[in-house]
Amino acid sequence: MKIISNKNNLQILHEDNHLIVVNKRVGDLVQGDKTGDKPLPEVVKEYIKEKYNKPGAVFLGVVHRLDRPTTGIVVFAKTSKALSRMNELFSNRETQKTYWCVVKNKPQKSHDKLVHYLKRTEKNNTSKAHLKEVPESKLASLDYTIIKELNNYCALEINLHTGRHHQIRAQLSAIGSPIKGDLKYGFDRSNPDGGIHLHARKLVFDHPVTKEKLEIIAPTPDDVIWNAI
């Protein structure tokens, strides 16, 4: 059964005066959409308001986003200073992002760098990976390493060099290894909870205010395949 995050069951990975980092569940929306479902930032605001008994509106800045079917680390800023500095860290690529995913069709190499040009199509909200530059495309680059082989699937660790729309999903699909449950990018059936097996596993960065090095790790969802990894 799918569990959506609320103010009482938030999986908080790190919290201080400036930042709050949450382990996003499948189905949690980082940004509001046409479904009208309550987005995760609103849930986090409710949690802060109640925990600290704050009167009036709560400030919360969204630093980055994860797709709705994806799980793992999402960072929010509790102060405007932290928000502007975190935005700089992300735009200057001064963060180290590691993802885990489960794919079908084991990639040919146990470790490789993938470089494509991604072109986004707004109409169906997808990105297509091209080997050569095409008009309106953006360079996308990542490294993957096989971390576990299962009977029908393969688990990969991904290190992103760029942050493009649906980058991991589109690039792995382009090499014939779509992510489990990802119908949009070529997997043959959906997961029961509507999610995909893509998880923002680790984030390393220097704290925007204290400058202390933070390494945040998000536990994987509790399901048979993740537990086998």
Per residue in 73-109, pLDDT (tens digit) is 999 999 999 999 999 999 998 999 999 999 999 999 9
Chain segment 1-26, per-residue pLDDT in tens: 678 899 999 999 999 999 999 999 99
Confidence at residue 1, expressed as pLDDT on a 0 to 100 scale: 61
- Whether the CB-CB separation of 126 and 185 falls below 8 Å is answered with yes
pLDDT for residue 217 is more than 80 = yes
The mean per-residue pLDDT over the stretch 41-58 comes to: 94
- The single residue listed with the structure tokens 């609103």 is 42
CB 214 within 8 A of CB 204: yes
For residues 217 and 98, give the distance between their C-alpha atoms in angstroms, rounded to a whole number.
Answer: 9
Residue-level pLDDT at 32: 72
Q: Count of CB atoms within 10 A of residue 154's CB? A: 19
185, 169 contact by CB (below 8 A): yes
pLDDT of 3? 84
Beta-strand relationship, 71-77 and 198-206: parallel
pTM above the 0.85 mark? yes
- Residues 163-189: what's their mean pLDDT? 96
Query: How many Å from the N-terminal Cα to the C-terminal Cα in the chain?
Result: 21
